[in-house]
Amino acid sequence: MKKLSTASKVYLLLVFVVLYAPIFYLIFYSFNSGGSMNNFESFTFEHYKAVFEDSRLIVILINTVIVALLSGLIATIIGTLGAIGIVSIKDKKMRKTLLSLNNVLIVSPDVVIGASFLILFTMIGVKLGFTSVLVSHVAFSIPIVVLMVLPKLLEMNTSLIDAARDLGASKRDVLTRVILPYIQPGIFAGFFLALTYSLDDFAVTFFVTGNGFSTLSIEIYSMARAGISLTVNAISGLVFFVTILVVIGYYFVTNRAKRVNEEVQR
Amino acid sequence: MFNKASKGSLFPYTIWIALFVIAPIVLIVYYSMLDLNGNFTLNNYQTFFSSVYLKMTLTSFWYAFLITLFTLLFAYPTAFLLTKTKHKHLWLMLIIIPSWINLLLKTYAFIGIFGLYGPINAFLEVFGLDAQQVLFTDFSFIFVSVYIFIPFMIIPIFNSLDKLNPTLVYAARDLGASSFTTFRRVIFPLTIDGVKSGIQVTFIPALSLFMITRLIAGNKVITLGTAIEQQFLVSQNWGMGSTIAVFLIIIMVIIMLLTGQKKGGRAQ
């Protein structure tokens, strides 16, 4: 392959600089002892200290993580079972309909999802707050789990199941000992994506959260509307740090899963 | 393929579809036909076709179009050059990482960057230009939106470029096509599916943005999304909000049909 010309390299570099500059800009000023994002006075950790001393903010952080983990877990269970169910459907038309319905929430604008869920919760009489936020996050994470698990199920060799059945495995054994281990990478990817969906969501949560309950995105929004506060910068420093950790962790886990898979198949 | 018992596993999934896919759409359509007191009416639709809302829809379209266009213009070359780098998947990973940072934080960063005393204005002052308000302008709105959407446009284009068989490009070159002709007649048509998915994931969200319009455009730009949020959470006029949502859904379906991929049509 041809080597990249200097102009191309400069272009790529520029794209990377523009992509990362705002993030590092935020983090840089999180260490600023002055109160603004344009005049670096001296180095300080006080904004980070402020985050950890603000018990309200800590509660919001914990809420966000709990909603993400719980919704990811529930969505992964329902989504994985759903994917197994979809594969078991023989009627092609029915299968296609289910798959199109599955994709509706993925392509819908989140404002519409938020608005329609708000109507739904009000009609059923669910109090807006933790429950409504959790249920919404589960709802919009399920389709992505299905999409991650489905290809793994489809590439699975059916003779594996026949063999297990012939060798006397019960239906339950087939599920827990054959199917689930095989599609595990897909389940993992689905759970991971569900987590990021939940952590990143703003619009849907904004609609279905009541007055008492708030996630990190909502809190940042209201802080940002009020103007610049370096506490937000400190939060972004922490978020960036955690994101990098998660990326590295995910990279190692999937790599290991791949290696184990290859060894099993050998 | 799978035994019959696994059909039971569909149970929670079908409940989910009924409750969170079908019911919300039905409810939105139902509410769009209610007035403020809950009586049946088609007034909301009439209002939507008044000049105010039509104008808003058009501007929303125009902004979404500009955002998608600029995102594509920057994303395509980036994806193209990325596929030519040595460790392309590592570089792609580095492009994706910023998209995992919370959207709100990235938007917040631009409040500082574009601010009156921010780095952009400091930079302009070096050249002797007066500081001016960059925040709350059309430019800042489009810039931030493009910034947010670029990774989502790069990924599908990168994937389709990555799948492209390089021998096709060599063949075109050998047969005397210039690099531009090769691009126009071979590379671009073969990666159009990636471009289409990229447009899908940019245009529809760009129509429905409301957080960026509030924080960056300072309520000057009203998109369909902003209008829905306004009707639902500020004016409490759920009927009108639902009507706009119905149109947003219709537009979404049209875009999906236009950019839908024909399966099995083209050999990859």
pLDDT band at residue B246, thresholds of 50, 70 and 90? very high
B115 CB near a chain A CB, below 8 Å?
Answer: yes
| pLDDT tens track for A87-97 | 888 888 988 89
pLDDT band at residue A38, thresholds of 50, 70 and 90? confident
In the predicted structure, residue A249 carries a pLDDT above the cut 90: no
Q: Look up residue A127 and give its DSSP letter.
A: P
Which of B108, B134, B208 should we substitute to test contact with A (largest number of A Cβ atoms within 10 Å)? B108
| pLDDT tens track for A168-226 | 888 888 888 888 899 998 999 899 889 988 988 999 999 999 888 999 999 999 988 88
Q: What is the mean pLDDT of residues B138-161?
A: 93
Q: Can you tell me the ipTM of this complex? A: 0.86
CA distance B206 to chain A (A): 9
What residue of A is the nearest CA neighbor of B209? A111
| pLDDT tens track for A112-134 | 999 999 999 999 999 999 999 99
Each domain of chain B, given as residue ranges in start order, spans 51-259
Of the partner residues A12, A15, A119, the one whose CB lies closest to the CB of residue B28: A119
The pair of structure tokens assigned to B190 is: 């073969």
> Exposed, middle or buried: residue A255 (CB in 10 Å: 0-12, 13-18, 19+)?
exposed
% of chain A with per-residue pLDDT over 90:
46
What residue of B is the nearest CA neighbor of A203? B211
Residues 6+ apart with CB under 8 A from A175: A84, B6
Amino acid type, A146 = V
CATH class of the domain whose range is A54-231? mainly alpha
| pLDDT number for residue A264 | 62
- Contacting B residues, span 160-179, partner chain A, CB-CB under 8 Å: 166
Amino acid type, A34 = G
Of the partner residues A81, A220, A240, the one whose CB lies closest to the CB of residue B104: A220
Contact list, A217 vs chain B (CB under 8 Å): 102-104
pTM: 0.87
Which of B20, B28, B103, B114 should we substitute to test contact with A (largest number of A Cβ atoms within 10 Å)? B20
Q: Considering only CA atoms, which of A104, A205, A45, A15 is closest in space to residue B16?
A: A104
Q: What is the mean pLDDT of residues A30-42?
A: 82
A63 CB near a chain B CB, below 8 Å?
Answer: no
Amino acid type, A30 = S
In the predicted structure, residue B131 carries a pLDDT above the cut 80: no
| pLDDT number for residue B265 | 40
| pLDDT tens track for B154-207 | 999 999 999 988 899 899 989 988 888 988 999 999 999 999 999 988 999 999
Determine whether the interchain pair B13/A119 forms a contact, defined as Cβ–Cβ distance below 8 Å: no
Of the partner residues A16, A82, A90, the one whose CB lies closest to the CB of residue B10: A82
The pair of structure tokens assigned to B234 is: 């500020």
Of the partner residues B13, B77, B211, the one whose CB lies closest to the CB of residue A85: B13
Q: How far apart are CA A192 and CA A50, in angstroms?
A: 30
In the predicted structure, residue A104 carries a pLDDT above the cut 80: yes
A200 CB near a chain B CB, below 8 Å?
Answer: yes
Residues 6+ apart with CB under 8 A from B52: none
Mean pLDDT (chain B, rounded): 87
In the predicted structure, residue A81 carries a pLDDT above the cut 90: yes
Each domain of chain A, given as residue ranges in start order, spans 54-231
Q: Considering only CA atoms, which of B29, B87, B115, B176 is closest in space to residue A1?
A: B87
In the predicted structure, residue B53 carries a pLDDT above the cut 70: yes
Determine whether the interchain pair B9/A85 forms a contact, defined as Cβ–Cβ distance below 8 Å: yes
| pLDDT number for residue B8 | 73
A196 CB near a chain B CB, below 8 Å?
Answer: yes
Amino acid type, B227 = A
| pLDDT number for residue B149 | 94
Residues 6+ apart with CB under 8 A from B262: none
In the predicted structure, residue A27 carries a pLDDT above the cut 70: yes
What residue of B is the nearest CA neighbor of A223? B108
Q: How far apart are CA B222 and CA B59, in angstroms?
A: 8
Domain B51-259, second-level architecture: Orthogonal Bundle (1.10)
Mean pLDDT (chain A, rounded): 88
| pLDDT number for residue B3 | 52
Q: How far apart are CA B163 and CA B100, in angstroms?
A: 25
| pLDDT number for residue B262 | 53
| pLDDT tens track for B92-116 | 888 888 888 888 899 999 988 888 8
A188 CB near a chain B CB, below 8 Å?
Answer: no
Contact list, B107 vs chain A (CB under 8 Å): 224
Q: What is the mean pLDDT of residues A59-77?
A: 94
Q: What is the mean pLDDT of residues A136-165?
A: 91
In the predicted structure, residue B1 carries a pLDDT above the cut 50: no
Contact list, A108 vs chain B (CB under 8 Å): 249, 252
Of the partner residues B27, B94, B256, the one whose CB lies closest to the CB of residue A120: B27
Of the partner residues A18, A85, A101, the one whose CB lies closest to the CB of residue B7: A85
Of the partner residues A4, A78, A87, the one whose CB lies closest to the CB of residue B16: A78
**Number of A:B CB contacts under 8 A?**
241
B258 CB near a chain A CB, below 8 Å?
Answer: no
B147 CB near a chain A CB, below 8 Å?
Answer: yes
The pair of structure tokens assigned to B96 is: 């994706």
pLDDT band at residue A266, thresholds of 50, 70 and 90? low
| pLDDT number for residue B192 | 92
Q: How far apart are CA B99 and CA B195, in angstroms?
A: 19
Q: How far apart are CA A153 and CA A85, in angstroms?
A: 10
| pLDDT number for residue B247 | 93
A244 CB near a chain B CB, below 8 Å?
Answer: yes
**Residue B121 to residues A164, B114, B124, B166, B222: CA-CA distances in angstroms?**
69, 7, 5, 45, 26
Q: What is the C-alpha radius of gyration for chain A, rounded to an integer number of angstroms? A: 23
| pLDDT number for residue B268 | 32
Please count the residues of chain B. 268
- The DSSP line for chain B is ---GGGGGGHHHHHHHIIIIIIHHHHHHHHHTTB-TTS-B-SHHHHHHTSHHHHHHHHHHHHHHHHHHHHHHHHHHHHHHHHHHSTTHHHHHHHHHHHHHS-HHHHHHHHHHHSSTTSHHHHHHHHTTPPP---TTSHHHHHHHHHHHHHHHHHHHHHHHHHHS-HHHHHHHHHTT--HHHHIIIIIHHHTHHHHHHHHHHHHHHHHH--HHHHHTSTTSS--HHHHHHIIIIIS--HHHHHHHHHHHHHHHHHHHHHHPPPTTSS--
Lowest-confidence region among A146-150, B4-8, B147-151, B232-236 = B4-8
Of the partner residues A81, A112, A174, the one whose CB lies closest to the CB of residue B248: A112
CA distance B129 to chain A (A): 18
Lowest-confidence region among A9-18, A52-61, A101-110, B256-265 = B256-265
Amino acid type, A245 = L
Please count the residues of chain A. 266
